[in-house]
Structure 1
Amino acid sequence: MKHYYNPMSRAISTDWMLKELDVQHEKINIDFATNENNAADFRKINPMGKLPVLVDGETVVTEVSAICAYLADKFPEKKLAPEIGSVERAAYYRYLFFTGNTIEPAFSLAACGFEHPDPVSAGWGDMPRVLATIEEMTPTTGWALGEQFTAADVVFGGLLDFSITFKWIEPSPKVAAYVERIRQRSAYKATHTAF
């Protein structure tokens, strides 16, 4: 497996996921300073020119949630995802998809000083609803799905961590405590050295 990466990109989360799994892979650093992410060779792999990208043989996977879900399913013995077909899988999917489809668009717009002109038509609604849902979804103790840490924590917790670090949000005590639990994981510490 090849993991295309830059520590100042969303690939920090997929790097963390790979460390949680402790699986062999080749890390390929893409240099933003030389615009390597827009080089023709890289754009053949990911036409978006974005990171992260995971290449597993002939399979190319992009997007943090997709890569984390793919890896969790590829290595089921690591128990970073609930069993396929289990009831817990529904909540797991919610954490994976809510993060990229709702939280990140809302936070990205807000960070740029924008508000969607018609929040009812936007998939993420408005900031008060997003923040209320984050508060509801954040576990008081343990992890997103209970006692077992999963890819849901890498994806959901990772974006909350990023959002706090870059001051996109002022976390509630519950969110701050959850992110602090995440920051104590050895795989997190091994991958988040730039911050």
Structure 2
Amino acid sequence: MKHYYNPMSRAALTDWMLKELDIKYEQISIDLTRVTPELIALREINPMGKVPALVDDTNVITEVAAICAYLADKYPEKKLAPDMQSSVRGIYYRYMFVTGNTLEPALTLAVSGFEHPNPATAGWGDTSRVISTIESMTPEAAWALGERFSAADIVFGGLLDSLVRFGTLDASAKVIAYVERLRKRQAYKEAHRALLDL
């Protein structure tokens, strides 16, 4: 299994997932600032030329949520996803996919000084609804799905961690407390060493 990665990118989240699983994988570091053989190889498997990308045998998986969902299902014994028949599987999917589909697009526009001219027609709505969604989905205690940590915490919580770290979100006490719980995990610390050393 090959993981195409840069420590200062979203690939820190998929690296965190791999470290939570405690499995062997090949880390291929990509310098995104210049054309290297590794970057050329990445563009062959992912025309976007973006990390993370995961190659598992003949499977090529890109996008943080897709990689984390794939890995959680590949290693069910690690219990980083609810069982397929679990009543919380739908909630898990919501946490996994709201970040890339809704939260990030709206917040990326907002940080750039833009708002969609008609947010009712945009899949991500507007900033105020995104903030309300973050607040309502952030767990009061423990983890997104309750007492058991899951891939949902890496994907959803990982985004909140970045928003707090870079000052993109005026975070509530609840969000900050959740992010602090995430940052105490050993796999988080190992995957975010480059940021922690800044």
TM-score category (smaller protein): over 0.9
Count of aligned positions: 195
Aligned residue for 1:176, secondary structure, equals: helix
For residue 44 of structure 2, what is the amino acid of its counterpart? K
Residue equivalent to 1:6: 6
Aligned-pair CA distance for 1:138: 0.5
Which residue of 2 is the match for residue 141 of structure 1?
141
Structure 2, unaligned runs of 5 or more: none
AA partner of residue 189 (structure 1): K
Counterpart in the other structure of 1:113: 113
Identity %: 63
Which blocks of at least 5 consecutive residues in structure 1 are unaligned?
none
Whole-Å Cα distance in 1 between the matches of residues 70 and 131 of structure 2? 28
Q: 1:29 to 1:38 in 2, by over 3 A?
A: closer
Inter-partner Cα distance in structure 2 for 1:159 and 1:146: 19
Measured at CA, do residues 37 and 11 of structure 1 come closer, stay the same or move farther in structure 2, by a change above 3 Å? farther
Structure 2 letter corresponding to 1:173: A
CA RMSD between the two structures: 1.3
Matched with 2:44 is 44
Asked if the contact 1:38/1:49 (under 8 Å) is kept, the reply is no
Matched, 1:176 2:186: no
Q: Distance in 1 between matches of 2:171 and 2:49?
A: 31
Contact residue 52 and residue 64 of structure 1 kept, 8 A: yes
Distance 1:134 1:18, change over 3 A: same
TM-score by length of 2: 0.95
Q: Partner amino acid for 1:172?
A: S
Distance 1:39 1:5, change over 3 A: closer
Could you tell me the TM-score, scaled by structure 1's length?
Answer: 0.97
- Runs of at least 4 residues of structure 1 off by over 6 A? none
Deviation at 1:38, TM superposition (A): 9.1
Q: Deviations over 1:41-78 (max 9, x none)?
A: 32111011111000000000000000000000000000
- Matched with 1:190 is 190
Q: Deviations over 1:57-109 (max 9, x none)?
A: 00000000000000000000000000012111000000011011001101111
CA distance in 2, matches of 1:37, 1:90: 41
Q: Residue 24 of structure 1 aligns with which residue? A: 24
- CA shift, 1:35, in A, is 3.4
Counterpart residue number, 1:122: 122
